[in-house]
A and B are shown apart, each in its own frame.
Chain A
Amino acid sequence: MAGSNGSRETVIEVRDLAVGFGDRLVNDGLSLDVYRGEILGVVGASGTGKSVLMRTIVGLLPKRRGSIHVFGQDMETLSEKERQNIEKRWGILFQQGALFSSLTVKQNIQLPMREHLDLSDAMLDGLARMKIDMVGLKADAADKFPSELSGGMIKRAALARALALDPEIVFLDEPTSGLDPIGAGDFDALTATLQKTLGLTVFMVTHDLDSLGTICDRIVALGEGKVLASGDMDAMVATSHPWLKAYFTGPRAHRTFASP
C-alpha cells in the first residue's frame, strides 16, 4: 500500500463531470478527488446529485462530459476485462441493500467470490462466516433470506456482500438511513473499524450529521451541480453558502455537536 509518504495517493479522480437526465444537468462541471485510506462524506440537499455522482463513478449512469479515473485508469478507455478487474476492487452498498431476494445472506456474500475467484467450498463458507462476523451479524443470519431480516440487518448483510472480495474502495449510499440513532451509531463505528482493519477507502453518501462528524476524515458538499466546499467539519461550519450554513449550523446540527 503506497501513498503514505507525504503526498496522498488519489484513488478516484473526477474532473469536470456532467451528468444529466433529459434537458436537466444534475452534475455540471464537478471535480473531486478521493484519497487512499480516507473516509469521504458526500453531503448535499436532496436532488443535488450525490447518488448520481456515485452511480456515475461506478458506471451505472452515462456521463455527458468530463473524465473519471479510478486507480489512475481512465474509466472511458478501459476494455471489458480491465473494467472487470477494477470492479473486483470496489464494493457497493446500495441504499436499499439490493440483496438478492432468492439467495440467503451467505449465498449473497459468496456470489461475487464464486463468480470471480477459484476457491474451495470450505474456504467460501469460512470467508462468508468471517464477513458476517465482521459486520456484526450473528452466525444464524447466514442462512436467512433477505425478507427475514430487519432493516439494520439488511444494511449489515449488504455491507458484508460489498466487502466480499476485500475491496480497496467501498461506496456507501446513505448507509445509516432508516436505522435508529443507536443502530446508526453502531454502523458508523463498524465502518470506521472495518476501514482501519481492511485499509479501505470509503466513499459515503450521507445525510447523517453524526456520521459526518464522527467518522468522516473529509467532507465534500455538493450543490448547483458542483462541489460547493470540501474539508473537515470545521471548514464546513465556517462556510458561507446558505444551504451549508443552514445544514451545518442549524438546530439539528447544534443538537448533534453541542453535547459532548
Chain B
Amino acid sequence: MSIEGGATGQTMRMTGNWTMRHGRTVETLMEQAASAEQPLTLDFSAITAFDTLGALALSRLRLDRQTAGRPTAFAGMSRSHEILLAEAKVQPGTETPHKAASSVDILVDIGKGMSGIGRDFTGGISFLGGFVAALGRMIVQPSRFRWPAIVKQIEMFGFRSVPIIALISFLVGGIIAQQSVFQLSTFGTTAFVADLLGVLILRELGVLLTAIMIAGRSGSAITAEIGSMKMREEIDALRTMGLDPMEVLIVPRILALVICMPMLTFIASMSGLFGGGLVAWIYGDVSPDVFLTRLQSAVRINTFMVGMIKAPVMALVIGVIASIEGMAVKGSAESLGTQTTASVVKAIFMVIVVDGLFAMFFASIRY
C-alpha cells in the first residue's frame, strides 16, 4: 500500500489496504500527507480495502490540514467509502488528561485508608447487631430457622474440611515435636516434649490453625457466594419477596460455622497431638507410655477448654467478616475478587488479634 505521485502535490493516488491490519503504516502515510504544503487531492479509486480505521485516518487528515489552512479534497470515492467517511466525521476528541501522582495523593490515600478502617469497624459492629437481632427473631419464632440450609452448610464447612485440617494439624504437630525434641535433647529432657505439645496445641495451635484454614476455605466461599448473588441481583430479588437476606443466607452460614468450629478444633488438636506423639516416639525415642503419662500431668481440663472456648468466637469473627465483604461486592468481577481477598486477609488478621486478646484475658483471670 502506498500514496503515489505526492512529490509535486496536486493529486495523490492511494493504493492497497487501508485497514486495521495495517494501522501503523496508515498512520505513517497520514503523517507524511499531513505535512505536504500544497493543496492536496486524494484519489480513492485504486484502494483495494477500506475500513473504519482508513476512514478515521483520512477524516483526521482532512481535519488536521483544514486547521492548518491546507485544503484537501477526496476523489474517486465509491458509495461505501463515502458512508464510512461520514461515520468517521465526528469527534475532535476530548480526552481526560491523566493526572500525575503527587505526594498529596499519597496522604489522601492514607487518610482514606484510615477512615476505611474506622468504617470497617463500625460497619462490623452494626452488622453484628443485625445478625444478633435476626437470630433473636428466629429464636422467638423457631419455625424461621432454616435447618436444611444449616445442615447443608455444616456439611460444606465442617465435614468436608476435616481431611485437610486433620492433615495440616498432624504435620504441624509433627514439626513442633521434632523441633522440641531437638532443642530439649541438649538438656536431656526430651520427655518434656509432651508438656510443650500439650499446652501449645490445646491452648493455641489447634484453634488457630483451624481458624486460619476455615477463613481461607469457608470464609472465601461465603464471600464469593454472597458476592456473586449480590452481583446478579439475587439478593435484591430476595428482599423484594419479603425475605431477609440476613435470615436466609447469613444466619445459616454463620451458625453452621459456629457449630462446626469447636468440632474441627477438637479434631485438629487430637490430630496435632497424635502427629507430635508419633514424631516424639520415632525421632525422639519417647515411648507412647511416657508421652501419655507426661501429657496427663501437664494438661488439665482448662488447658483443653481454653482452645474450645475460643473456637466459636473465631467462627463468629470469620463468618461476620466474610458476610460483610460478600455484601460489599459491586457490579464487576474485579470487585468480587477484591472483596474475597479482603475477606480472607481481614479474617485471618482478626483471628490472630482475637487470639491475642483471649491470651491476655485468660492470663489475667489465671485460667
Q: Which residues of A contact B (CB under 8 A)?
A: 100-102, 113, 117-120, 123, 125-127, 129-131, 133-134, 139, 143, 145-148, 165-166, 196-199
Contact = CB atoms under 8 A, between A and B. Distances in A.
Interface residues of B, number: 31
Given A131-B52, A197-B83, A198-B52, 11 more contacts: A117-B20, A119-B20, A123-B23, A127-B20, A129-B93, A130-B87, A143-B96, A166-B20, A166-B51, A197-B80, A199-B80
B93 A119 contact: no
Given A130-B56, A145-B331, A139 B91 contact: yes
A129 B90 CA distance: 9
Interface of B: 19-21, 23-24, 27, 51-53, 55-57, 60, 80, 83-84, 87-88, 90-91, 93-96, 231, 330-335
Chain A interface SS verdict (over half):
helix
Given A127-B52, A130-B52, A118 B23 contact: yes
Contact of B53 (A125, A129, A148, A166): A166
A123 B53 contact: yes
Nearest to A101: B332
A1 B74 CA distance: 22
Contact of B91 (A129, A146, A166): A129
Q: Across chains A and B, which 6 residue pairs bring their CB atoms closest together, nearest first?
A: A147-B331, A102-B334, A101-B332, A119-B23, A166-B51, A102-B332
Given A117-B21, A123-B53, A147 B27 contact: no
B23 A120 contact: yes
Nearest to A165: B20
- Count chain A CB atoms within 10 A of each CB in B20, B21, B333 and give the residue with the most: B20
A145 B335 CA distance: 12
A102 B333 contact: yes
Contacts of B80: 197, 199
A101 B334 contact: yes
22 contacts: A101-B231, A102-B333, A102-B334, A117-B20, A119-B23, A120-B27, A123-B27, A126-B60, A127-B20, A129-B91, A129-B93, A130-B56, A133-B87, A134-B87, A145-B331, A145-B332, A147-B331, A148-B331, A166-B53, A196-B83, A197-B80, A198-B51
Contacts of B83: 196-197
B243 to A, nearest CB: 24
Contacts of B332: 101-102, 145-147
A146 B335 CA distance: 13
Contacts of B88: 130
B18 to A, nearest CB: 11
Contact of B90 (A100, A123, A133): A133
Contacts of B330: 147
A113 B51 CA distance: 14
Nearest to B57: A123
Given A118-B24, A147-B330, A165-B20, A127 B87 contact: no
Nearest to B26: A123
Contacts of B84: 197-198
Nearest to B83: A197
Contacts of A199: 80
A131 B55 CA distance: 12
A247 to B, nearest CB: 31
A123 B56 contact: yes
Contacts of B27: 120, 123
A198 B84 CA distance: 7
Contacts of A113: 20
A166 B331 contact: no
A148 B332 CA distance: 10
Nearest to B51: A166
